[in-house]
Amino acid sequence: MNQKRYITADKILPVKGNPMEGKVLVFEGEVLSDIVEANMIEPGKVEAYNGILVPGFVNAHCHLELSHMKGKINTGTGLLHFLQSVISMREFPEEVILDAIVKADEEMHEGGIMAVGDICNAIHTATVKANSNISYYSFVEMFDFLDPVKTEQFYNNFYPAYESVPGLGKHRKSIVPHAPYTVSEHLHRRIYESNTSEAIWSIHMQENIEEDRLFLGQESGYRKFFSELGAPITHFQPTGTSSLASYLSFSPLPQKMLFVHNTQSRESDFKAIKASAINGYLVTCPNANLFIENQLPRYELWKESGLPICIGTDSYSSNWRLSIWSEILTILKYNSFLSFDEVLEWATINGAEALGLDSELGSFEIGKRPGCVLLKSIGGDVDTRANDVVKIV
């Protein structure tokens, strides 16, 4: 039987429900078994902390397999140059790649991250995930450079290899498209046919202005980018609409999808998501957006859309830390119209819902195993100048 821990602090933010003072969280192992009045527990049994307790975080978008690229790519070069750098740095010694993955997984766990939506283009992360304290949802990413001829070759070579790795059973996965500019409608249908109806999808969306220009038939850097990769897209016919609207014209569409980045998305794009049959989630990776393109999304449009918002870290190829707390601080620093409480929802319960883990994570509710993170406080409020958090459970 797990030993009980009685944990309290100056304030507790349950995410679902009002802030609590004078309460004690009762944990049995990782499970929150009760929330009681402080005077019900012998003082000597209670772990009392100075600060504010919040549930563990959910990282809705990461590329764990790129952890070996920490500090290897220059900032502010733009997405196309960044992608070229990532492609050119794939060939590292396997022991270097695997060691970086282990360290990144440990870093995220110690930083209070309970679950991760992780992009996979290789099988390097499978063993770590099988033994991790973090719950992973693996998005096995597909692309055919808009060329249906290449679809089956890529699909048949990659996915069976990932399936064959032992020990991944406790983690869920689905096959997903990379981005509108790398996935043909033929590959989209192949992906749909290979997933169950309950599969969660993810897609990189409208991360730079060149993406919409390609689909609108305007001059776009993507044509040169693909030519330099040896995959010219001379066969591609512009749709005359945004990349997001173009992708939503594919059929059939998944039930649930994470739209990641959206730095160039407009009000009409968000309306298109809501008008579709997709249960859509917007995922922001602010530090990565600053790292690559020196810009952030227009969060006022995100809020107005009414679509749920989640937070990701992206990868060490495009970030200085794999810390959801760091992402929260960046969002609040540049968007004072947002409150800490609402951004905390993005980092916890919204991410848990997006990954289908809201029955387990994301809020202090009895029966969940939400994790427990201590934030520093000042004047009774969260200290948004503090650089780190402490993982309690």
DSSP letters of 140-177?
EEE--TT-GGGHHHHHHHHHHHHHT-TT-TTSEEEEEE
Residues 100 and 12 in one domain: no
Structure-block tokens of residue 88: 């050119």
- The total domain count for the chain is 2
Asked if the model's pLDDT at residue 112 lies above 70, the reply is yes
Residues 163 and 48 in one domain: no
* Mean pLDDT score of the chain: 94
Structure-block tokens of residue 10: 């100056």
Collapsing DSSP to helix, strand or coil, 258 comes out as strand
Residues 160 and 269 in one domain: yes
Evaluate whether residue 176 is within a structural domain. Answer: yes
Peptide bond into 252 cis (omega under 30): yes
Collapsing DSSP to helix, strand or coil, 69 comes out as helix
**Residue 109 belongs to what H/E stretch?**
helix 94-110
The whole-number pLDDT of residue 171 equals 76
The whole-number pLDDT of residue 375 equals 98
Map tokens 């449009």 to a residue.
301
Residues 198 and 50 in one domain: no
Domain limits at 37? 4-54+377-391
Residues 13 and 144 in one domain: no
Report the number of secondary-structure helices (H) and strands (E) in the chain: 14, 16
Asked if the model's pLDDT at residue 165 lies above 70, the reply is no
Mind listing the pLDDT tens digit for each residue in 330-367? 999 999 999 999 999 999 999 999 999 999 999 999 99
Map tokens 């951004």 to a residue.
343
Residues 243 and 381 in one domain: no
Residues 34 and 67 in one domain: no
- Of 320, 321, 260, the residue nearest 285 (C-alpha): 260
Residues 22 and 117 in one domain: no
| Cα–Cα distance, 225 to 29 (Å, whole number) | 51
Evaluate whether residue 370 is within a structural domain. Answer: no
With beta carbons less than 8 A apart as the criterion, state whether 47 and 7 touch: yes
Residues 14 and 147 in one domain: no
Mind listing the pLDDT tens digit for each residue in 237-247? 999 999 999 99
> Residue 200 sits in a domain of what CATH number?
3.20.20.140
- Of 61, 74, 80, the residue nearest 211 (C-alpha): 80
| Cα–Cα distance, 78 to 137 (Å, whole number) | 28
With beta carbons less than 8 A apart as the criterion, state whether 14 and 379 touch: no
Residues 232 and 333 in one domain: yes
Residues 289 and 319 in one domain: yes
Which residues on neighbouring strands pair with residue 137, listed in sequence order? 117, 172
